[in-house]
Amino acid sequence: MEFINLGNASLAAQYVAIELFREIKRNPHTKLGLATGGTMEPVYAELVKLLKSNPVDLSLIQTFNLDEYFELDKQSPKSYLYYMKHHLFDHIDIKPEQYYFPDNDRENLDEDNKAYDELIMKEHPIHLQLLGIGTNGHIGFNEPGTPFTSNTRMVDLSEETIRANARFFDTIDEVPTQAVTMGINTIMQSDRIILLATGEKKQSIIRQLYDMTQPNEEIPASVLLNHPNVLIITDNEASPYKKED
């Protein structure tokens, strides 16, 4: 697990966007695992610029999102499908049949979750997985205590996560309390993982992760200690090297 502090959030986002772009250019058949949230917005903005400025064939790539709110209308501006279309898909030459999300409907949920994992693993798992991190250490919506053997499934969101996501809704009461998330085991099958963390609120958990030598299910992101190719990118505010006041 390698940590690099790139100083400011803009440069960190640019670096991650370049890594995504290089993966697409290097492998026209690449599978990308994508994340959402405020941290990722500048990443996708930079990636759109790169894809528009360079001749790249996107016709064979596939993308798989980490999660979606449970039973939230997929057309809702609060859905992650809407987020990805707004920030990335609507601005690049990619067709709807190339991007995938966990099914968030109650009907046939277990079968759909299994099918999502099978689709991810078909022929080859995810080549490059992009992750954010919650202040409680969650990756995707895998909350503290999640077994490292978990696959795609429905989960209850922690109070901390609900509070953190309230900024995207008009009131905290509107925040969904459940989601469908790619599991930790599914994430760990990826060839390469890049985790991006920016802002002072992420510094405590990044420091904890930096100091850990053994994975602990109470900090889900610590499972990345077991992965052979993980890069953690931060700005000054989230850096594990930042001195405490």
Ramachandran region, residue 145 (left: φ > 0; alpha: ψ -120 to 50; beta: rest): left
**pLDDT confidence of residue 188:** 98
The verdict on residue 244 lying in a domain is: no
Q: Which 3 state secondary structure label does DSSP give 194?
A: strand
The verdict on residue 195 lying in a domain is: yes
Q: Which 3 state secondary structure label does DSSP give 11?
A: helix
Rounded distance between C-alpha atoms, residue 199 and residue 183, angstroms: 26
**pLDDT confidence of residue 106:** 78
**pLDDT confidence of residue 54:** 95
For 51, the domain range is 2-234
Rounded distance between C-alpha atoms, residue 197 and residue 209, angstroms: 12
| CA proximity to 31, closest of 224, 223, 182, 179 | 182
The verdict on residue 204 lying in a domain is: yes
Q: At what angle do helices 41-53 and 9-26 cross, to 10 degrees?
A: 50
Q: For the chain, what percentages of helix, strand and coil (3-state, to nearest 5) are there?
A: 40, 20, 40
Rounded distance between C-alpha atoms, residue 137 and residue 133, angstroms: 6
> Which ranges constitute the DSSP H helices of the chain?
9-26, 41-53, 80-87, 109-121, 159-165, 184-188, 203-211
The verdict on residue 40 lying in a domain is: yes
Number of domains, the chain: 1
**pLDDT confidence of residue 98:** 97
Q: Which residues are marked as active site?
A: 67, 136, 138, 143
Q: How many helices (H) and strands (E) does the chain have?
A: 7, 10
Residue 162's CATH number: 3.40.50.1360
Q: Which 3 state secondary structure label does DSSP give 50?
A: helix
The verdict on residue 179 lying in a domain is: yes
The verdict on residue 245 lying in a domain is: no
Rounded distance between C-alpha atoms, residue 8 and residue 67, angstroms: 27
The verdict on residue 239 lying in a domain is: no
Whether 202 and 196 have beta carbons less than 8 Å apart is answered as no
Rounded distance between C-alpha atoms, residue 225 and residue 132, angstroms: 16
The verdict on residue 240 lying in a domain is: no
**pLDDT confidence of residue 243:** 67
What parts of the chain have a pLDDT lower than 50? none
Residue 180 token pair? 């469908």
